Structure 1
């Protein structure tokens, strides 16, 4: 019996039938996938609460999800490319094609530079996250709620709230896009709310009379005026004087009705297997299947591999190659009452996230804290993997543990994995980003453009899988060559950049007792978190340097610090920084900047652009950049890479 049936709703021409060079026309297919799962199968034993999911008359668990497919009308190159949509959003075309973000790609503009379509990929967007709410065109997965003998499943859980401006009410999930784990009837009375300045600060409990499970309703949009009301709600939290910036609020409460979230991994496995092998599939023949996910979905990919879901129920490999991007050392975490939208833990935000648990590395190693031995990659069905991460992952997401032992020694990668640091870049690099802004940080965000790397990495993966051509060697910092260092060593290396408020160090990682609510970190049992060493300019010495980093106009970091009133001094989410060089020697002297000025480095903008071309051509020679992206890098560098940089030289 097939594990999935695809109900096709619409087929329509993409981009009004535009013919992409080398491929031809595309069409858009929208559908609903109906999944049927045997909860007793050994392949599903890793899914929490699956035994508590409702069953049909045949003993199977059923659920369904959205699917959208961009497919070449004439078959293309028989390559399937699966976008693990980040929080239900379609992102692959945006990042691989430098396109505007949209959850409804229909026009030629939505194809950007057309890379994926010119390469003939069948691009599949499939819902995998089950706790999302409708809105903004997100892909939705309708999952069952766990029940025990017909009664609700209950248990203690936590929710954390951090705001940038005063806010009266928030959903328990903290995200308007995300279903909250509702408080139980008895949990309403036993819940506790605390606040603290920093993750390490002693929490203070807020009096029960100052907050309640409710949401504020009315105000400026009220049809009868500006009256407001508090509406009791088991999905929302209201604080009488409002949630204030600069505080970490933490709610401990008894929740109920958990979703069986792990079925999202089954959905990906069964959908891709169906599209590869089922005669009823709505796409042409598929020789190879690849998948990509960034951040949250990069972590999902690592869990997908680790839990054995890259083998379908017929024993066939699902993905031939996978591209987890900016996952750091984390995995997804699909435990009961998990909020999948919440990012992996950071130094200030979401520090209770269960994302970072052993194993961290693809290669087998021993957890020096617990003695456990494990690896992400450990099965014959494992795919080829190109793991990419930025500087931010080393600072916020314990990225060094991807390729070191838990006590900080070089480990490397198994033969079917390569790893690349995109040097001195930040977690998110929107291809359409303009001039960097500060937001609630002390410094302008990181301006390094990296989207061209996505195209080169996918070309390398395809050549590795389909032709046996080895990808470029791994390019990550190592302890052995001195490019992966402790925070103290990094601090001695980093130049005295004017106005830079340095971080106290990277986001540490300790063994956590998750049998308690909230979980308790044991600071006596620490994992080694290392960061990339830097050159005299403060830019990272190892890894793959984008042209902007190879020929810098600034110091670019993967970290940024929170501004006063917003958790001052702590690392901010996944933000990096740009510390521009002085434009002239006179400016450098007055600011006492130890870094040479732009004037000292380049005679004029033409010389700078020529240096960018040389750096881009070097990357292309090493297969980290496509030939077409050399010219894009040169064009972007015109006028001193404006608007990312603004210089006026005499």
Structure 2
């Protein structure tokens, strides 16, 4: 056990410290070996101290005999064995649902929650640069398993009783045969148990589309229960295929099965909330110690980090925006926790902390979880006025402790996650961002881009999944932020679509200009954002009123990027695959019949292959120029990709080391991840 500090308002104690080698002792540069430190940190705070007033529901969290509130969190550090060989900068990953992904996205490494090997290290980028990586678990409803990093927080108690609240949860099954689901919707996520097993005291219903009239499911046709057994293992053993239906306050059981693609919603009285917001507190306190405490208990005390950068994607990108907005970046004494932050694909959202929040649920999309209130004003880093409520606000309101920001987002965020509101006001007018902010739109790419390219699938979608590779942008963006912090060299100006030059447009204008590609269905709209009244409790960190009130007339402007004659986005930071395309790459995809036909699917984008030859274009009536007319040969395509990559290097938006990787991936008309069968192949 190691005591990390003696602050009377917040103390951190490190337990079970384990140090091991990384990547089989491989050296990332001359003498630069890395080691992993895994530990468990106990954070103890005074719940009435002024510095903790930003922590929701802390006053109602269970206290120890000294009147303090405690939580325990997993900590992982990947550091140079020789501290002098580090670059003095911490890269902190806000993990997404407990999953460690820093090596996957920055190093092209094999995805894992237990990084130890050379395969996990990938191309070694972070280690060659000398970064120290730190992870502190923050999401308290993530359950252990699959190597996830977790945090344990105390329960909420009021008058020594666990609070109760009517809440709503939503389920969508993508395949037939699903009969049982945890109330959280995910096996790896903690559920709020039902107060009663009596289904008459709850409401289960389903609807075809979010706006459809719901169909009630009779209470005698479903149960609060879980399914056990039925594995089919053990040939010849009659009991191997047995199933048991066991009463469970944390599961819903529908014997006939959930119909794929339908939206099911359960309204029930829940209990046993926990102090979720202590996750942000744990990040603040542990990171503050690692940066500033010179005591022997600090694993980084041999060479205190000079700087720290936070990175997170999707849900954890929203967490970064919320962490900054709510003042957690103040270490408690006016110093910053993070000097710079890199929220990726967060859209215009923040996290959702209230007493019965489900943190794992993705933010609102057009079809799924549409009423999730993660997208609430303010949306932009710049100050603006909410034209519906009259409130003026911004993500950045604390100049003394606000970090530098490089916000990155894909085409999907404009269609699903109201991404235009990151850089417009609520009526859709361009906003001038603070000098401390850069926003880069990764044109014509989708929310999820696999760092390890493979042939695209469709899933429950009309079109192939978007396969634009953007992984190299992560590395360049990190170094842009590092130079901004350490040397004061500002990154290139933001690259975003704008109303002023008609590269950011209303949906009707987008639809009128999009090419008429044979057989391709277009979206009926992006994910619009009406004003929703969730009740006064939400603003205070309390539970959401059920049901919320959705306005039919008060709407926040949601705009989308304008496209060129091929249907690819005009503005933004265009990856080489977009600058030299083999198809139309969009931020949207359409659900198949039987899966919410016609609505946008999750966060998916599309890949719509170009015609391969002049003959094909003539037969199909495709207005887009064929591949052979564009590039002439596979070598011509590879040269176009290489030229696009070299152009990005000039602005520091791509690293020279990535040019050869990108060019190699283009071989044979990008046969690794495209679907073309070109003449001569």
Task: Name the CA distance, whole Å, in 2 between partners of 1:561 and 1:106.
Answer: 39
Picking from 337, 341, 353, the partner of 1:322 is 341
Q: Does 1:60 align with 2:77?
A: no
> Superposed, which structure 2 residues align to 1:431-450 within 5 Å?
431-450=451-470
Structure 1 residues 148 and 414, CA gap change in structure 2 (3 angstroms)? same
Picking from 382, 405, 410, the partner of 2:430 is 410
Structure 1 residues 637 and 247, CA gap change in structure 2 (3 angstroms)? same
Paired residues of 1:389 and 1:421 also in contact (CA < 8 A):
yes
Of stretches 535-544 and 281-290 in structure 1, the one that deviates more from structure 2 is 281-290
Shift, 1:23, TM fit = 6.4
Paired residues of 1:8 and 1:29 also in contact (CA < 8 A):
no
Q: Does 1:265 align with 2:280?
A: yes
| Secondary structure of 2:17 counterpart | strand
Show the counterpart of 2:298.
281
Of stretches 192-201 and 38-47 in structure 1, the one that deviates more from structure 2 is 38-47
Provide the TM-score with structure 1 as the length reference. 0.98
Q: Does 1:239 align with 2:254?
A: yes
Q: Deviations over 1:607-649 (max 9, x none)?
A: 1111111110100001110010111111111111112222312
Q: Deviations over 1:235-269 (max 9, x none)?
A: 00011211111310111111111111111111111
Show the counterpart of 2:526.
506
Show the counterpart of 1:581.
610
Show the counterpart of 1:96.
106
| Secondary structure of 2:361 counterpart | coil
Q: Does 1:112 align with 2:132?
A: no
Q: Does 1:342 align with 2:353?
A: no
Q: Deviations over 1:164-210 (max 9, x none)?
A: 11311100000001000111138754211111000111111111111
Task: Name the CA distance, whole Å, in 2 between partners of 1:250 and 1:94.
Answer: 35
Paired residues of 2:445 and 2:585 also in contact (CA < 8 A):
yes
Q: Does 1:538 align with 2:567?
A: yes
Show the counterpart of 2:201.
190
> Superposed, which structure 2 residues align to 1:463-474 within 5 Å?
463-474=483-494
Q: Does 1:48 align with 2:56?
A: yes
Task: Name the CA distance, whole Å, in 2 between partners of 1:316 and 1:526.
Answer: 39
Picking from 496, 506, 510, the partner of 2:516 is 496
Q: CA RMSD in A?
A: 1.3
Show the counterpart of 2:672.
643
Task: Name the CA distance, whole Å, in 1 between partners of 2:620 and 2:261.
Answer: 31
Structure 1 residues 168 and 378, CA gap change in structure 2 (3 angstroms)? same
Task: Name the CA distance, whole Å, in 1 between partners of 2:55 and 2:373.
Answer: 16
Show the counterpart of 1:456.
476
Shift, 1:13, TM fit = 1.0
Show the counterpart of 2:141.
131
Q: Does 1:352 align with 2:371?
A: yes
Q: Deviations over 1:512-559 (max 9, x none)?
A: 121231323112111000000000000000000000000001000010
Paired residues of 2:170 and 2:266 also in contact (CA < 8 A):
yes
Paired residues of 1:302 and 1:324 also in contact (CA < 8 A):
yes
Paired residues of 2:208 and 2:263 also in contact (CA < 8 A):
yes
Paired residues of 1:23 and 1:72 also in contact (CA < 8 A):
no
| Secondary structure of 1:395 counterpart | helix
Paired residues of 2:99 and 2:148 also in contact (CA < 8 A):
yes
Task: Name the CA distance, whole Å, in 2 between partners of 1:22 and 1:569.
Answer: 56
Of stretches 374-383 and 238-247 in structure 1, the one that deviates more from structure 2 is 238-247
Show the counterpart of 1:255.
270
> Superposed, which structure 2 residues align to 1:151-170 within 5 Å?
151-166=161-176, 167-170=178-181
> Superposed, which structure 2 residues align to 1:421-432 within 5 Å?
421-432=441-452
Show the counterpart of 1:376.
395
Q: Does 1:230 align with 2:245?
A: yes
Shift, 1:22, TM fit = 5.5
Q: Deviations over 1:386-428 (max 9, x none)?
A: 0000000000000000000001111131111100000000001
Shift, 1:277, TM fit = 1.2
Provide the TM-score with structure 2 as the length reference. 0.94
Show the counterpart of 2:409.
389
Matched residue pairs, number? Answer: 650
Show the counterpart of 1:177.
188
Show the counterpart of 2:36.
28
Q: Does 1:146 align with 2:156?
A: yes
Unaligned runs of 5+ in 1: none
Paired residues of 1:330 and 1:344 also in contact (CA < 8 A):
yes
Q: Does 1:219 align with 2:225?
A: no
Unaligned runs of 5+ in 2: 1-5, 536-544
